[in-house]
Structure 1
Amino acid sequence: MSTLIAAENLGHAYHDEWLFKNLTLGIQPGQRVALVGINGAGKSTLLKLLAERFNPLEGKIVKNKSVKIGFLDQEPSFPDGHSISDFIFSTENKQQQLIKEYEELIEDPNPDEKTLNRLYEELSEHNAWEYEHEIKTILSRMGITHLQQQISTLSGGQKKRLALAKLLIEDPEIYVLDEPTNHLDIDTIEWLEKLLTSGNKTILLVTHDRYFLDNVCNTIVELDRGKIYNYNGNYAYFLEKKSEREMADESTFQKNKNLLKKELEWMRRMPAARTTKSQSRIDAFYDLESKTKQRSDNQSVTLNVKMARQGNKILELDHIGQSFDDKPIINDFSYTFKRADRIGLAGKNGTGKSTLLNIITGHLTPEKGKVSTGETTVYGYYKQGGLAFNEKERVIDIVKSDAEYIKMADGQTISASQLLTLFLFPPKKQHGMVEKLSGGEKKRLHLMKVLMQNPNFLILDEPTNDLDIDTLNVLEEFLENFPGVLILVSHDRYLLDKMSEQLFIMEGNGEVGIYNGNYSEYRISLETPKEKTPAKAKEQPVQNTAAIPAKKLSFKEQKELEDSELKIAELEAKIQELSNSLLTIDSADYNKIQDVSKTIEGLNQELEKVTERWLTLSEL
């Protein structure tokens, strides 16, 4: 099978630091490749190089000149003074120019009949009616209706959808997509999945959306510390094989480390003795030292900041109503928030999700109804637009502007620099300028500043945009243990399924529906036809469930149940104590860190077994 595009010995640097060197990658026709890796690894740079947006510092991109590449940038740019119509329809495509003229004409309330008849004939002559339908479907799905609107008046999300619409209309030989699901609602994402997997499309993409990865991609390419690792399979297969690779890497690292100790002793002997030794052994030592230094231990973001105390009264929405330009956005909605509420906010773009959040946080006073907030409620609001950082400011100064020292959940006080390190900002990045951070790293910094406020009512509006999957996994772990109220707005179906127990559905007509369950359960409920209950069924008496005797536990089982509860509490306390101790261990003391980590892993396995048995006994 011929390669459509290939990178040969590619090398590129950013701000005088090499992202990768000697990198080789080939993409075959019909491959749907996902590029994964942590923020700052160089994923977006590699996409731009393959899309020929600029030239690499080393190596080359090889492809046939006739192969057309369509590139969706993370933040697309547009020519000045263009309308949507000018951008969408290519001047070199006769069919598109006819469709453009036709679409512009029918937007006119009084179209010229003679011109309209001529266009009908020409569109038929060029077999463009099916193409016109495809274009209209794509534009409609992306929420693009007014073709004469100037691009400069669009929001960032609308511009991203416009750029994606043009690429889908052009249907290139290779799709290169940087975060294609950002700013799309879930219905549109599911439609896009079907479109991209139809036919034999060749795709290279970066996305944080794990359901999208699993449903669309058949190859995963990981960019890790400047190296490429290929996995022929979907995202679930990648996770399995990556785990195996990391275990092998750990084994190799330990062998290298032990060998380095021996070689270090040899190198430290008297300088006079060293001159008699083999030069090749000296060279081998420095090579081994380099490999060992390059290896960075698997770091993880530790999100365990303190939560403010929460009182009995949290937030009450009493018959609130809001409209804009006589269009109802929220109509007579009431809800009393309870402790540990976990709510997913769902609905198509433009149905009023941001309006509801602004009312909840007090940024907007509703036209009708009353909002009553508890005295102890502390909001943490992670907004989709992010924070406007001063690009010339140092990262550490941005954190210090809030606080020099931060109190963690365990009562420990740490410095701003230590907190940044926990969030995977090493000292070099802490003292660097914000402009040197990647888009995902800026989002991580924004999230960190929100959590520093010690909120007990956390609102996350599209938190997954531009964050790498490793950071998302740890964010999920934090949210699972977060005891306060959580409202989550996300197009990431995986996150909604995992984190929400209830949904507020913005239905688009002012109504806000409440569904008890997660997003997948909600979608299944929509697809499952509701059976009508026969009228006589209402007359049947309700069965007295109290009459059915419950299975009683034996004395031994009852004792085991009580002991299990105590054991669970004991194990959880030990795990917490050891986890806290990891923060105080010197990062250079790898052996101690490894010993404590292994102990925690063993305790977690024991906790899982005890909890499983406790659940079994509880159900009995």
Structure 2
Amino acid sequence: MNILSVEQLKKSFGERVLFEGMTFGLAEREKVALVARNGTGKTSLLRILAGEEMPDDGRVVTRKGLRVGYLKQEPHFPPGVEVMEWLLTLDHPLLKAVIRYKEAIANPEDGDEMTNSLAEMDRLNGWDTESRLTAILDKLDLKDIHAQVDTLSGGQRKRLALAGLLLTEPDFLILDEPTNHLDLDMIEWLEEWLREASFALLMVTHDRYFLEAICQTIYELDEGELYKYDGNYSYYLEKKEERIQTQRSNIEKAKNIYRRELEWIRSTPQARTTKSKSRIDSFSEVKKQAHQQVQNKQVEIDVKMERLGSKILELHNVKKSYDDLPILNKFSYTFKRGDRIGMVGKNGVGKSTFLRMITQVEEIDAGKIITGETVRFGFYRQDGMQMSEDKRVIEVIKEIAEVIPLAKGKSMTASQLLERFLFEGDQQYTFVSKLSGGEKRRLYLLTILMSNPNFLILDEPTNDLDILTLNVLEDFLLDFQGCLVIVSHDRYFLDKLTNHLFVFKGNGEVKDFNGNYLEYRMDLKIEEEKKKEARKLYAEPTVKDARPKREKTKLSYKEEREFEALTEEIEQLENRKAEIAGIFESPDVDASEIEKLSIEMNQITERLDEAEMRWLELSEYVE
């Protein structure tokens, strides 16, 4: 049974129709991905499904009481609120109880609040929610719950919005590029979370490993038509190619019929029989089909690269830190021709700082960086190019060059180059402010490649680019003969393009790993298995413990006394536990007393567990 049904949906952007007559449904717990080129209406469709935008025609029908969660590409929060304050606004009674409890712990002087929050947690059985809240905030690196949302980075705000959605557990979750601003560890954790989740999911993502692992249905929006593929991403690629080949074959057949029918039309007398009129009517349909074109446009990249000399880039004992935060500690590396290096590590450990240092945008504290005379950097920054919103697309390119040199002595005009990047006709005169996020990224990438670099640096290049553009960019980068350095959270992108990693481990430590990301993860798993084996060996019984145990038939005198003492101790501990619980319910107890009693309660619980386990062990031999 569908929890959501889309019926004959239509949406236009100015005179351009994004989609029309769109109809599909989403079942309970179904996990779906939406694939399309940038600027074709993905985000518009998500906003309509989330109820934040109205369609031009058609309707969206949802199951009564359906709770919908929507993660935008750029979430917005009310000004002047703390992380905790915003979480409290979420409509979830269990979550509010947990946050109230955490606040009470942080302010133990308010004894009444501590007592009431404990009682509410018990009543709602909120202890599982409390552990889930802690785990989610920890995994998404949102530990400071009193931070002002206004002071958070764009990535932190995206992670906070994601945390709120995961905590409220909607029936239907809509995610627009959820992996943007997440480091690789976060992505792998989120991937596992979503794979095991019971809610329905519709997401737009450029992360192909992420998509492959989670979604079992793919919808492709192509030229305003929606195509459904009942399988994962690999299945989609296979079936899409089959669809295109079938479409081409049908068009070719229609062209043959069209030529034959056209000849008949021209030779047939004006007086028509009923039969010939029917043939004439069908001719119109054949003509329409024969003139169809399979839209398989791709970004074409064919820029010139400057020659790279023998000396490229050398780092000798480079040190860098911000106050007490080390970024690099005596790091050395000599770049060679053809180096293809991926940089990975948690957010905030210094990857972007490293890129700014090697391009001399930022100074180092100590050591030396030597750049070869022939090196020409192309630096694609994570924060993008600051383009004037009131400029037209073609004006942005013409400011760089009217004519662009290409490989093999060729050249082309700015307009021709824009066409290769899928900015065609009237779209070249579109204002930058009207472009989608992905289209702006594509335009920015073009400006970088126009500089003809031989040392290409890409800082999170996959953000907001559609999968089809990424495929072509990857093909270009595979043929790129210069040095390549990539910072990316896209595991597929890294595995395809790099064979060497700089692993930023924090505290100034950078591991030089010879292999791609998949090989690095496999290496980590092997190391973890070795550690587990070592822990098992360490935990093996000593020689004394390993001696064969005697067949016990009854307790020794000493064990009988221990059993009696344990019976008495367990009773006393349970009485004291009940006594403390009663004190907690008293309105007269002060905060300092509650704190002391909480510590004692934990100690009693731990001792009870130990005593009861030993009592059970001895009770087997009591006659």
Bin the TM-score by the shorter chain. Answer: 0.7 to 0.9
1:519, 1:88 → 2: CA distance? Answer: 35
Q: For residue 426 of structure 1, what is the amino acid of its counterpart?
A: E
Alignment CA distance shift 1:111-1:360 (3 Å): farther
Q: How far is the alpha carbon of 1:309 from its aligned partner? A: 1.3
* Bigger radius of gyration among the two: 2
From 233, 236, 260, the equivalent of 1:235 is 233
Contact 1:104 1:148 in 2 (8 A): no
Q: Which runs of 5+ in 2 are unaligned?
A: 532-623
Aligned partner of 1:28 in structure 2 is 27
- Tell me how far 1:105 sits from its aligned partner: 4.7
Corresponding residue number in structure 2 for 1:581? none
Shift of 1:241: 0.9
* Range moving further from structure 2, 435-444 or 494-503: 435-444
Deviation at 1:332, TM superposition (A): 0.9
| Residue 50 of structure 2: aligned partner | 51
After TM superposition, the structure 1 = structure 2 runs for residues 449-598 of structure 1, keeping only pairs within 5 Å, are 449-529=447-527
SS of aligned partner of 2:415: helix
Q: Does 1:381 align with 2:379?
A: yes
Measured against aligned partners, the alpha-carbon deviations of 1:198-256 in whole angstroms (never above 9, x if no partner) come to 14321111111110111000111111111111111111111111111111011112223
**Whole-Å separation in 2 of the counterparts to 1:267 and 1:477:** 47
The answer to whether the 8 A contact 1:36-1:206 is kept is yes
- Report the equivalent of 1:561: none
CA distance, structure 2, for counterparts of residue 289 and residue 17 of structure 1: 24
Does the aligned pair in 2 maintain the 1:90–1:96 contact within 8 Å?
no
Preserved contact between residue 90 and residue 168 of structure 2 (Cα < 8 Å): no
Q: What is the match of residue 339 of structure 2? A: 341
**Whole-angstrom CA distance in 2 between matches of 1:39 and 1:92:** 33
Find the counterpart in structure 1 of residue 443 from structure 2: 445
After TM superposition, the score normalised by the length of structure 1 is 0.81
Q: How far apart are the structure 2 equivalents of 1:528 and 1:522?
A: 10
- State the distance in 2 between where 1:94 and 1:349 align: 32
1:114 deviates by: 5.6
Instruction: Using the TM superposition, give the Cα deviation of residue 392 of structure 1 relative to its aligned residue in structure 2, in angstroms.
Output: 2.4
Task: Sort the Cα spacing of 1:294 and 1:443 in 2 relative to 1 into closer, same or farther, 3 A.
Answer: farther
Match of 1:539 in 2: none
Which of 208, 213, 222 pairs up with 1:215? 213
Q: Distance in 2 between matches of 1:333 and 1:476?
A: 29
* Contact 1:139–1:145, Cα closer than 8 Å, also in 2: yes
Aligned-residue offset at 1:428? 2.0
CA distance in 2: counterparts of 1:287 and 1:437, whole angstroms: 36
Instruction: Give the alignment of 1:157-556 within 5 angstroms.
Output: 157-261=155-259, 287-291=285-289, 295-529=293-527
Q: CA deviation at 1:80?
A: 2.7
Contact 1:311 1:376 in 2 (8 A): yes
* CA separation of 1:74 and 1:234: change in aligned 2, threshold 3 A: same
Contact kept, 8 Å, 1:342 with 1:500, in 2: the verdict is yes
State the number of aligned residues.
Answer: 529
Of 114, 118, 122, the residue aligned with 1:124 is 122
Correspondence for 1:101: 100
SS across alignment from 1:323: strand
Could you tell me whether the CA contact under 8 Å between 1:88 and 1:166 is conserved in 2? Answer: yes
Q: Which SS does the other structure have where 1:197 is aligned?
A: helix
**Aligned match of 1:550:** none
In structure 1, C-alpha distance between the alignment counterparts of 2:46 and 2:261, rounded to whole Å: 41
Structure 1 unaligned spans of 5+ = 533-620
Contact 2:252-2:290 at 8 Å conserved across structures: no
Of the structure 1 ranges 324-333 and 473-482, higher mean CA displacement relative to structure 2 is found in 324-333
Distance 2:496 2:92 in 1: 46
In structure 2, distance between residues paired with 1:301 and 1:160: 29
Quickly say closer, same or farther: Cα 1:92–1:73, change in 2 above 3 A.
Answer: closer
> Which whole-Å deviations, capped at 9, do the CAs of 1:339-385 have from their partners, x for residues lacking one?
11000000011111111111011110111111111111111111111
Whether the 8 Å CA contact 2:95–2:168 is kept in 1: the answer is no
> What one-letter code is carried by the residue in structure 2 that aligns with 1:241?
K
Please state whether the residue corresponding to 1:349 is helix, strand or coil. Answer: coil
Distance 1:32 1:314, change over 3 A: same
Q: What whole-Å deviation, never above 9, does each CA across 1:267-302 have from its counterpart, x for those lacking one?
A: 7899x9699997766665555555555534422211
Change (3 A) 1:476 1:127: same
Q: How many angstroms apart in 2 are the aligned matches of 1:444 and 1:279?
A: 51
Q: Which amino acid aligns with 2:196?
A: S
Cα distance between partner residues in 2 of 1:260 and 1:322: 71
In structure 2, relative to structure 1, the CA distance for the partners of 1:385 and 1:251 (3 Å cut) is same
Does the CA-based 8 Å contact 2:314-2:333 persist in structure 1? Answer: yes
What is the letter of the counterpart of residue 6 of structure 1? S
**Structure-2 change in CA distance of 1:280 and 1:448 (3 Å):** farther
- Identical aligned residues as a percent: 47
Which amino acid letter does the alignment assign opposite residue 74 of structure 1?
Q
CA distance in 2, matches of 1:433, 1:289: 37
Question: Which segment drifts farther, 426-435 or 161-170?
Answer: 426-435
Q: Offset of 1:98 from its aligned partner?
A: 2.7
Measure, in 2, the Cα distance between the counterparts of 1:30 and 1:21: 27
Task: Give CA deviations for 1:27-85 in whole Å, capped at 9, x if unaligned.
Answer: 01121101111112211111111122122111100112301111111111222332212
Q: Quote the Cα distance in structure 2 between the aligned partners of 1:417 and 1:172.
A: 47
Between the aligned partners of 2:372 and 2:142, the Cα distance in structure 1 is 41
Instruction: Note the alpha carbon deviations across 1:315-359, whole angstroms, 9 max, x for none.
Output: 111111111121111111111111110000000111111111110
What displacement does 1:420 show? 0.9
Q: In 2 relative to 1, CA 224–111 (structure 1 residues): closer, same or farther, beyond 3 Å?
A: farther
* Contact persistence 1:323–1:330 (CA under 8 A): yes
**Cα gap change, 1:489/1:91 in structure 2, threshold over 3 Å: closer, same or farther?**
closer
Other structure's SS at 1:507 match? strand
Amino acid at match of 1:295: Q
